[in-house]
Structure formats: structure tokens, C-alpha cells
Structure 1
Amino acid sequence: MTGATDPVYLDYDQARLDLNYNQGAWASNAEEIIAWYRSASLEAHRKLACRHLAYGEGAAECIDLFPAASPGAPLVVYVHGGAWRMLDRMDSAFAAEAVVGAGLNFAVLDFASIPAARLPEMVTQVQRGIHWLAGHAGELGFDPRRLFVIGHSSGAHLAAAALTADTPHRIKASTVAGALCASGAYDLEGPMLSARGKYLDLTAAEIEILSPIRHVARLDCPVLVAYGEAETDEYRRHARTFHAALQAAGKTSTLLLAEGQNHFEVSRQLAVRDSVLFDKLSKVMPTLSVQSRF
């Protein structure tokens, strides 16, 4: 007979595991920052030129592209978070002004979320969106050799899964020059055993296919793995173990710690020019190209 405090995953009992996938419980300013995502994104749309593009026929299969001032600049593609079921492109352009100001193109890649889509479909939408952008680099005015993908929270999982999942829409080698995965979960067993499992509703086979840490051998680009000092225990573990797995597989990985930052504050660093995330991004992007290394 098992008790309420018996481990259900690693050394977590059910209550502690659920708490570790409830980032809001660890961040008293979560609602404030989520509101800022939207207000700062609306301000970016007000101040910057933006092209609204469609990579598919679905209502959510669209991209907002904020072009750099100079043609042929690199492209940063942002995959938003939201626990796989919240937020959209209009909450996700908050870094546009800083990124474009650094001489880079910035694209917000949108996709359907739970319950409108299941997680496997969301991963393939991100894959298709990245493929679409890479295939239209000439007309969109960016350097196809310097396409960089960023994901935060569930978006970090989606970005990493898009680069590793063997689906019919698997991203071709040498499409993506580099990736920044911030505050993500890279093995879906933990989320599925937590309270989030009720809406994720994944089969064992889907957990296997869509857990990036299990397929790091498929990655063919360098990865920045970032996390906040004030993240949950589990999200700090995800970052460290994903980084270690990449290194063990002979991949190029850099682990970035955002000191003092909670889960929601980490993504906000992408809009702050002197933050550790933005500083690293702005340094690697101008010289990064397909098959190069940090």
C-alpha cells in the first residue's frame, strides 16, 4: 500500500511534484509579468513595422515578422510559452524592439494550444513554421544561414522538440543555426505525472517521441540552455540535465543562469539589452551561421 508522501517521480511525492510544475506558486509577481507580456507586445506592434504572415491554413498558424533595418540580417524566431495552453502571438512580441534594435529580424511563431490542439500537433506546427520561414528567407529579407530559434517555458520544450522529434515534418539538417531554450521541461514524464498530465494526456509513445532529452543526438546546432535562479527545483533540474545530456552527446551547449530571476522574469530578460540572455544572444547572432559553434 502506498502513502500520500511516497515518491511518484524521482524523489518527488505527488504534492511536491504538482507544486514544481506550478510556477505561479513560486513567483508572487506572475500575474503582473504576464500582463506585461501583452502590454509590451502591443507597444511593439504600435511602434514597429510588422508583417503578418501565414505558414498554414489554421487560424493560429501565423507569424508576425518585425524586420531589421538592413536586408540580409539574421532572424530570431520566438516560440512562446504558456504551459502549452495559454498565451498567443499578441502576448509574445515584447522582445521585438530590443531585438530589432540590435540589428536582427524578429519573428513570433504562433500555433494552436490545448485544447484546440494536442501537443504532438503543436510540435509539428512549430516545425512547419520554421520550415516555412527558412524556405521564404529570400523574399522576407533575412540570411537563411542565420536562423536562430528561441523558446521560453513550454515554448522552450516546443522549440527543442521541434529540433529533435522524428515526425513527418522533422526539421532538415542545417536549417537552424542555433537555439536558446529557456526555462523548459525536456523530459515529459515528470509533467505527465504531475497535475498537468490531465490536460497533456499523452501516450507513452508520445512521451518518448516528444521528450527532447531522449533524442539529443538529432540536434545539429549549438544550444544555449537558460534558467532562472528562482525557478522551481524541477525546472532548474531540467536545465542542468538537458545541458549535461547535450554535452555527453558531443553537442555544443552553454548553460546560462539568470541570477535572481523567477520563471516569468527569465523571458522578460530577452527585452533587456544588458541582461545575461540578451547579451549572449546579441554576441552570438551576428557571427553565427549554420554549422558554426558558439
Structure 2
Amino acid sequence: MTIDPELDKLYNVRAAIPDHMDIFADWERRAANFSKAVSGMLDLSYGAGERAKLDLYLTENRDAPLHVFIHGGYWQAMDKSQSSFLAKAFLDAGVNVTMLGYDLCPTVTLRELTEEIRQAFVWLWQHAGKHGYDPRKIQISGHSAGGHLVGMLLATDWSSYGLPADVNPIHSAIAISGLFDLTQLVPTSINNKLGLDMDEAKSLSPLFVEPQNICPFLLVVGGDESSGFHQQSDNLKKVWGNRFEQLDRMNAVNCHHLSVVAQLAQKESALFQWATRQLESWRIVL
């Protein structure tokens, strides 16, 4: 398919952030320092894929909540270990943390990748008793491509995965700079490794599917990001808004596509405060 230069520019994150390699290097340093200071249960397999693994960091408080983070990288780059530093603020607040890994495109299709993330969530829900976190308080978050995957988890009928039909397993959710209308990406260079046609892109887009998990949901975008990312979240809020009791939309001031996710590591940030406030106050549905 012919590349649309305007859409390609809207979603070309690295071109919009000239110092992105320096930022990634800083993430690597912060992750390495975190790994030296905090021990975790690393590379737990939840599926058959080579990268279908997760890292689990536990507090001393049994039955504390669990925050699950899904990294970005347009479904074709990055790794769970690069985001590990985001866990520290949650751990300090008494919240357990999981960093999810997944196989990347084009090794797997985006449909297969999405299914892996669903398998990961089922694994986490089923292993709550073993590892000592509260299955009634599992909060999910994701950045960029990870934000898309958060949307797809919210659109999942978990009864077809063996979870009790009367349980809403997702306590609360955060999509950071998420991608919810994948048809926008079909005529871009991002699609070179995804191989999506319009029909498949639509079927894998949260914007065009019904949410199944109704819980507090936050859509956040960096204030300095392109109009494409703002439109993605604005459109999802418009379409899904009447289905949720609480669907919040936040602009992170003076943040671009990479600095916005780092707000999860800042205890004083509005993003972190929203996340922990939900875990403290939202009702538990039995």
C-alpha cells in the first residue's frame, strides 16, 4: 500500500524526538540500577512464545494490588526489561508490579500478539493466590502499542478464557499515548512489519469493538505529542465514554511521547496519583 506522508509523520515518534536514543539509554541505566537494588521473579513463562514471559516484583504485603505494565515499541521493538524502573514508585507505595513481555511482529502477527497478552492476563489472574496479590485489584497500564493492548484487554470476554462469568477481572486501566484506530497506521511505514490490511486493522482496533470490562479507565497523552495521538484517545473517549462510569482524559503538560510514560515513575505526577488513588478507593467487585 502507498505510504501516506502526512500520517507517517504524525506517528513517526522517533523523528519527532531527536534525542530519543539518549532517552532510551537513560531508561537502560535506570533499569539496570533498579535491577541491582530490587530482586524480582524474572522471565516467568506464561505462554509458548520465546518472549512470552513476565517479570514479577512483589511487596511484603500479601494481598496487595497488582499493577501490570505493557511496554510500547509499535508491537515490533523494545523489551519488558527496559521499563523495569517504572516499578519502583509502585513498590514503594505497597503495590506489586508485573512487567509483561511478548513476541514481536513480524515473528508473530498482531492478532497472535494480542492473544499472547490475553494469555498473560489469565496467567496473572490464576496465579494470584500462589504469588500473594489480590486478584480483585489488578490494574493494567500500557504505553503506545501497550496502550492499544490495554484497550484490547478491556474488550475481551474473559468467560471464554475460563474466568468466572460473574467477575470483572480488570480493576482499573491506563492507556498512555495509546493507539486505538489501527486503520490510521495501515498506509504508514509502521505497517511494514505488521502487514495489516484495512479489515484486519479494524478488527484489532479498540475503537471499533465493544468494551467488556467496565472499570475506571484513564486515557493520557503527552501535551507535546502530535495531533494523531491526541485524536486516538479523544475518539476512544467519545465512542466508549457512555459505557464507563469513569473514563478520564488527561494531557500531561510538557511531555512528549517518551517522557509521558516516565511519569509513572514520579510519585508526585498526576498520572501516578491517578493510578494509586484508584487502587485505594475503587470498590471491589466480588
Q: Deviation of residue 275 (structure 1)?
A: 1.1
Contact 2:216 2:247 in 1 (8 A): yes
Q: Which one-letter code corresponds to 1:17 in the other structure?
A: L
SS at 2:268 equivalent:
coil
Contact 1:246 1:252 in 2 (8 A): no
Instruction: Summarize the Cα distance change of 1:34–1:182 in structure 2 as closer, same or farther, 3 Å threshold.
Output: same
Aligned partner of 2:73: which letter? G
Could you tell me whether the CA contact under 8 Å between 2:65 and 2:96 is conserved in 1? yes
2:61 aligned residue: 70
Distance (whole Å) between structure 1 residues aligned to residue 7 and residue 285 of structure 2 = 38
C-alpha spacing 1:88/1:218, structure 2 compared with 1 (3 Å): same
Give 3-state SS (helix, strand or coil) of 1:92's partner: helix
Partner of 2:249: 255
Is residue 146–residue 176 contact of structure 1 (8 Å, CA) maintained in 2?
Answer: yes
Pick from 34, 48, 55 the counterpart of residue 44 of structure 1.
34
Q: CA RMSD in A?
A: 2.1
Distance 1:77 1:250, change over 3 A: closer
Q: CA deviation at 1:25?
A: 2.0
Instruction: Identify the residue that residue 235 of structure 1 maps to in structure 2.
Output: 229
Q: CA deviation at 1:110?
A: 0.7
**Aligned pair 1:85/2:76, yes or no?**
yes
Aligned mates of 1:39, 1:65 — CA distance in 2: 20
CA offsets per residue over residues 31-59 of structure 1, 9 Å max, x none? 22222222222222211120122112322
Residues 170 and 153 (structure 1 numbering): CA distance in 2 closer, same or farther, change over 3 Å? farther
Query: Structure 1 residue aligned with 2:106, among 111, 115, 135?
Result: 115
| Of 173, 178, 190, the match for 2:172 | 178
SS of the residue aligned with 1:179?
strand
Aligned-pair distance for 1:64? 0.5
Give the structure-1-normalised TM-score: 0.89
Identity %: 27
SS of the aligned residue for 2:258 comes to: helix
Shift of 1:118: 1.3
Amino acid at match of 1:256: M
Q: For each residue in 1:62-97, what CA deviation from the matched residue of structure 2 results, as whole angstroms up to 9, or x when unmatched? A: 110110121110000000001111111211212111
TM-score normalised to the size of structure 2? 0.91
Deviation, 1:169, is: 5.0
List aligned pairs for 1:1-294, cutoff 5 A. Answer: 14-52=4-42, 53-165=44-156, 169=161, 174-291=168-285
Residue 84 of structure 1: SS of its match in structure 2?
coil
Q: What is the CA deviation profile of residues 142-194 of structure 1, one whole-angstrom value per residue up to 9, with x for unaligned ones?
A: 01100000000111111211221569659865111111001011011001122
1:270 counterpart letter in structure 2 = L
Q: Is contact 2:186–2:198 with CA below 8 Å preserved after alignment?
A: no
Offset of residue 138 of structure 1: 0.6
Aligned residues: 281
Say if 2:139 and 2:173, in contact at 8 Å, map to a contact too: yes
Distance 1:169 1:119 in 2: 19
Letter in 2 for 1:46: K
Distance 2:241 2:222 in 1: 20
Q: How far 1:131 moved relative to its partner?
A: 0.6
Q: Which runs of 5+ in 2 are unaligned?
A: none
CA contact (8 A) 2:174 2:217 kept: yes
CA contact (8 A) 2:136 2:171 kept: yes
The amino acid across from 1:121 in the alignment is E
**Letter paired with 1:287:** S
TM-aligned CA deviation for residue 109 of structure 1: 0.9
CA distance in 1 between counterparts of 2:192 and 2:81 reads 27
Secondary structure of 2:85's partner? Answer: coil
User: Mean alpha-carbon deviation: is it higher for 210-219 or for 92-101?
Assistant: 210-219
Comparing 105-114 with 18-27, greater Cα deviation is found at: 18-27
User: What is the identity, as a one-letter code, of the residue corresponding to 2:217?
Assistant: V
Q: Distance in 2 between matches of 1:213 and 1:204?
A: 14
Shift of 1:287: 2.8
Instruction: Answer yes or no: is the 8 Å Cα contact 1:76–1:106 preserved in 2.
Output: yes
- Equivalent pair of 1:227/1:235 in contact (CA under 8 Å): yes
